[in-house]
């Protein structure tokens, strides 16, 4: 898909899906922040961050509490728009376009850049309707059941729920609910999936299933994950960005480099648990 097609789709409410045609896992850039500053009222939460996030890789955002990881993540699909006091300066490029351009439709953007939250948040609807939700909103005219099945398979949940698609999503276990939320996020065929501590509310077995799933998802999608769990970042990510207090990005590199031989002493101190 060319950049032009991708950016066009951001300003069209009725986005055509089926956009994940690229098969090569190259190090093309999926999302780039350029001189990004974010404020909540007078308080600065992100301080002049620039970074390029590669396509079809897992990129982890780590750092101590309050350093701006979630704020940065929410900038990428303009979820911060919902926070009245939040002001964003600088660019977030996606598909050859700054997502903050005035002609970008945030709803169309969020179909291309889906999100999964810390606490599983299925709707009080059937499993099928949870997954089909985004498709219905966009007026998807393909085979919804087929897409629901594909998405549940993509979220490694199909085998567990295929005989109970009409049951409430709320009746599933926490780990299953989170995989249902992942199925809901991938149903509209996004390019990027943002995950904000997706396993921190889950037991270790359920968390481990999600970790395996993230690895699989990166074959098709760009995954950007906030995690407090450094072992998790080391296990599942290809690239790691370390934010420290004040919303500054202090080091961003291959995950092995960050964990084995970081450039910055304060990154080593953080990773070895000396602070944060
Ligand atoms: N809705 C909001 N209104 C005002 N200030 C906010 C809001 N959300 C975050 N902040 C502030 O912005 C800064 C960064 O917060 P953010 O949640 O992005 O950090 P974080 O690194 O994700 O933290 P944690 O790891 O604890 O989730 C903090 O000082 C926080 O208090």
User: Which residue is closest in CA terms to ligand 1's atom 26?
Assistant: 65
- The share of the chain scoring above pLDDT 70, in percent, equals 90
Question: DSSP assignment of the chain, as one string?
Answer: --HHHHHHHHT-SS--------------EEEEEEEEEEEETTEEEEEEEEEEEETTSEEEEE-STTSSHHHHHHHHTTGGGG-TTEEEEEEEEETTEETTSTT--HHHHHHHEEEE-SS----SSBHHHHHHHHHHHTT--S-HHHHHHHHHHHTT-HHHHTT-TTSBGGGS-HHHHHHHHHHHHHTT--SEEEEESTTTTS-HHHHHHHHHHHHHHTTTSEEEEE-S-HHHHHHH-SEEEEEETTTEEEEEEEHHHHHHS-S-HHHHHHHTTS--
pLDDT of residue 273: 87
Q: Is the CB of 85 under 6 A from ligand 1?
A: yes
Q: Is the CB of 246 under 6 A from ligand 1?
A: no
- The yes-or-no verdict on residue 200 having pLDDT over 70 is yes
pLDDT of residue 276: 64
Q: Which atom of ligand 1 is nearest to the CA of 41?
A: 4
pLDDT of residue 71: 97
pLDDT of residue 26: 57
Q: What is the pLDDT of residues 107-163, one digit of tens each?
A: 999 999 999 999 999 999 999 999 999 898 888 999 999 999 999 999 999 999 999
- Which CATH number do you get for residue 224? 3.40.50.300
Judge whether 83 lies within some domain: yes
Number of structural domains found in the chain: 1
Judge whether 157 lies within some domain: no
Among 91-95, 134-138, 144-148, 186-190, whose mean pLDDT is lowest?
134-138
User: Which residue is closest in CA terms to ligand 1's atom 25?
Assistant: 65
- The yes-or-no verdict on residue 51 having pLDDT over 60 is yes
Judge whether 171 lies within some domain: no
- The share of the chain scoring above pLDDT 90, in percent, equals 86
How far away, in angstroms, is 38 Cα from ligand 1 center? 11
Q: Is the CB of 45 under 6 A from ligand 1?
A: yes
For the residues 49-76, what does the mean pLDDT come to? 97
How far away, in angstroms, is 228 Cα from ligand 1 center? 14
Q: Is the CB of 69 under 6 A from ligand 1?
A: yes
pLDDT of residue 228: 93
Among 1-5, 46-50, 162-166, whose mean pLDDT is lowest?
1-5
Q: Is the CB of 1 under 6 A from ligand 1?
A: no
Judge whether 146 lies within some domain: no
Judge whether 128 lies within some domain: no
Judge whether 20 lies within some domain: no
For the residues 171-187, what does the mean pLDDT come to? 96
Judge whether 91 lies within some domain: yes
Judge whether 110 lies within some domain: yes
pLDDT of residue 99: 98
- The yes-or-no verdict on residue 23 having pLDDT over 80 is no
Q: By residue range, what is the domain housing residue 56? A: 30-120+191-271
pLDDT of residue 9: 60
pLDDT of residue 274: 81
How far away, in angstroms, is 71 Cα from ligand 1 center? 6
């Amino acid at each position: 898909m060319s950049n032009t097609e991708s950016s066009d789709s951001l300003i069209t409410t009725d986005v055509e899906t089926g956009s994940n045609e690229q098969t090569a896992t190259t190090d093309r850039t999926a999302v780039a922040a350029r001189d990004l500053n974010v404020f909540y009222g007078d308080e600065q939460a992100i301080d002049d961050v620039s970074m390029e996030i590669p396509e079809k890789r897992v990129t982890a955002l780590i750092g101590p509490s309050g350093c701006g990881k979630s704020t940065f993540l929410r900038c990428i699909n303009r979820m911060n728009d919902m926070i009245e006091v939040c002001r964003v300066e600088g660019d977030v490029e996606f598909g050859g376009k700054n997502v903050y351009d005035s002609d970008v439709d945030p709803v169309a953007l969020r179909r291309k850049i889906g999100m999964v939250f810390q606490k599983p948040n299925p709707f009080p609807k059937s499993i099928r309707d949870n997954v089909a939700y985004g498709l219905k909103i966009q007026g998807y005219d393909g085979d919804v059941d087929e897409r629901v099945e594909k998405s549940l398979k993509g979220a490694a949940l199909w085998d567990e729920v295929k005989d109970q698609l009409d049951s409430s999503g709320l009746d599933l276990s926490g780990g299953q609910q989170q995989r249902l939320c992942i199925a809901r996020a991938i149903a509209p065929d996004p390019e990027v999936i943002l995950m904000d501590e997706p396993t921190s509310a889950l037991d270790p077995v359920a968390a481990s299933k999600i970790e395996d799933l993230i690895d699989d998802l990166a074959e098709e999608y760009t995954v950007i994950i906030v995690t407090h769990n450094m072992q998790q970042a080391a296990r599942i990510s290809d690239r790691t960005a370390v934010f420290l207090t004040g919303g500054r990005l202090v080091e961003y590199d291959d995950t092995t480099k960050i964990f084995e031989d970081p450039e910055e002493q304060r990154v080593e101190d953080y990773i070895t648990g000396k602070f944060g």
